[in-house]
Amino acid sequence: GLPDRVTIYEVGPRDGLQNEKALVDTGVKAEFVRRLLAAGLPIVEATSFVHPRWVPQLADAADLMELLGPAGQDCPVLVPNERGLDRALELGARHIAIFGSATETFAQKNLNRSLDEQFAMFEPTVRRARDAGLDVRAYVSMCFGDPWAGAVPVDQVVGVGKRLFDLGASQLSLGDTIGVGTAGHVTALVGGFTEAGMSIDQLAMHFHDTYGQALANTLSALRAGITTYDASAGGLGGCPYAKSATGNLATEDLVWMLTGLGIEHGVDLQQVVDTSVWMAGQLGRPSPSAVVRALAGS
C-alpha cells in the first residue's frame, strides 16, 4: 500500500530562485516564503549561505532572514562549509542542509572540490552545527545521471549518500538534479539504500521534471514507502552549475496527485496556485506547471 500521509518539503525560494536570471527583490522573496507557509507547507527552504559570487541570486540571504524574523529561523537554509555555517548561525538558523555530489565532475563544478574533498568540507560543518543544536539535512546530487559522467551506478550513490548521512544528518534527500531518472531506477536506488541499512524514514526524494518523469518517479517512491518529497511552487528551479537542469517537480502537481490518491499533505492547493501565479507575474513568465495553468484564476 501507499503511505497515509506525506511531508512536502518546499524548495521554491531556494532551488527555484537560485536559477532565475533576473534578481528578485528581497521583499518579494520574503512575501513568497510567507505565502507558502500560509498555504500550509510545513517546511519551506528559504535560501543558501553559499559564496555570493557563485550564486548571486541568493546573495541577499542575510537580509532575507532578517526580514522573515522568527519564522525564517525555522526555515532550512543551504550551507556548504564552515563560513556558510557561521553566517547562518549569526541569524539564528535552526535547520541547515549540506549538499554533496555523487559524482566527481559535479563535486568539482558545484563545490570546487573533488568527490573525496567534499567530505572534509562537510565534516566540521556538520559537527559544529550539531554541537550548536541544529538539525542537518544532507542532499546528494546526480543520483540518477550526470550531464558529464552519464549514468551513475546505484552503488556509487549509496556509498556517497551513506557517508554524507553518517556525518550526522537526520535526513538524506536523493536528488535527480537533471531529471533523467525513471520509475524503475527509483525502485532500484531506494532498494540500494535500504539494503545498505538505511531506513525508509531517513530518505527524501528530490525530483526535477526535465524529462516529465517527476510524478511517475514520485509514485514509484510512494510504493517504496518514502514519505518526504521536495517540490517547488510553480515548478521553478534548476541548478546553475548543472548543465540542462530545469525546474523541480511542481508543488501543485504533487499536491494534485496526492489528493487524488487520498494521501494527506495538509496543503491548500489553491493558495499555492495563487502564490505561483503572483510569482510568475514578478518573474515575467508563466509557470511551467500544468496544474497551475489549469487552476489559475479559479
Burial of 36-60, coded b for 16+ CB within 10 Å and e otherwise, reads bbebebebbbbbbbbeeebbebbbb
33 near ligand HMG, judged by CB under 6 A: no
Instruction: Find out whether 61 and 75 touch, Cβ atoms under 8 Å.
Output: no
CB closest to ligand HMG, residue no: 175
Shortest Cβ 136–ligand HMG spacing (Å): 14
Q: For residue 37, what are the contacts with CB-CB under 8 A and spacing of at least 6?
A: 44, 71
- Which runs of consecutive H residues, i.e. helices, occur in the chain? 26-38, 61-68, 70-73, 82-90, 104-111, 115-131, 154-166, 183-195, 214-223, 251-260, 269-283, 290-295
Per-state percent for the chain, helix, strand, coil, to nearest 5: 50, 15, 35
Residues 151 and 161: their CA atoms lie apart, in Å, by: 16
Q: Using CB under 6 A, which of 100, 161, 175, 235 touches ligand HMG?
A: 175
- Which listed option, ligand HMG, Mg ion, none, makes contact with residue 179 (CB within 5 to 8 Å by class)? none
- When the beta carbons of 185 and 206 are compared against Mg ion, the nearer one is 206
239 near ligand HMG, judged by CB under 6 A: yes
- When the beta carbons of 16 and 274 are compared against Mg ion, the nearer one is 16
For the question of residue 75 being annotated catalytic, the response is: no
55, 239, 254, 283: the catalytic one is 239
3-state secondary structure of 97: strand
Binding piece for ligand HMG, criterion CB under 6 A, among 43-51, 192-200, 213-221, 288-296: 43-51
119 near ligand HMG, judged by CB under 6 A: no
- When the beta carbons of 127 and 147 are compared against Mg ion, the nearer one is 147
Binding piece for ligand HMG, criterion CB under 6 A, among 108-116, 144-152, 188-196, 262-270: 108-116
Residues 144 and 161: their CA atoms lie apart, in Å, by: 13
**Which residues, listed in sequence order, are joined to residue 229 by a DSSP beta bridge?**
8, 205
Nearest to 78 by CA among 122, 115, 36: 122
Which positions lie near Mg ion, rule CB under 5 A?
Answer: 15
Instruction: Find out whether 177 and 230 touch, Cβ atoms under 8 Å.
Output: no
Shortest Cβ 257–Mg ion spacing (Å): 19
- When the beta carbons of 210 and 275 are compared against Mg ion, the nearer one is 210
Q: Using CB under 6 A, which of 49, 119, 144, 256 touches ligand HMG?
A: 49
110 near ligand HMG, judged by CB under 6 A: yes
The footprint of ligand HMG on residues 58-87 (CB under 6 A) is 78, 80-81, 83-84, 87
Nearest to 13 by CA among 28, 79, 298: 28
- When the beta carbons of 251 and 269 are compared against ligand HMG, the nearer one is 251
Q: How far is CA 9 from the centre of its chain?
A: 7
Which residues contribute to the site for ligand HMG (CB under 6 A)?
A: 15, 18, 48-51, 54-55, 78, 80-81, 83-84, 87, 99, 110-112, 139, 141, 175, 177, 206, 208, 239, 241
Catalytic residue annotation = 239
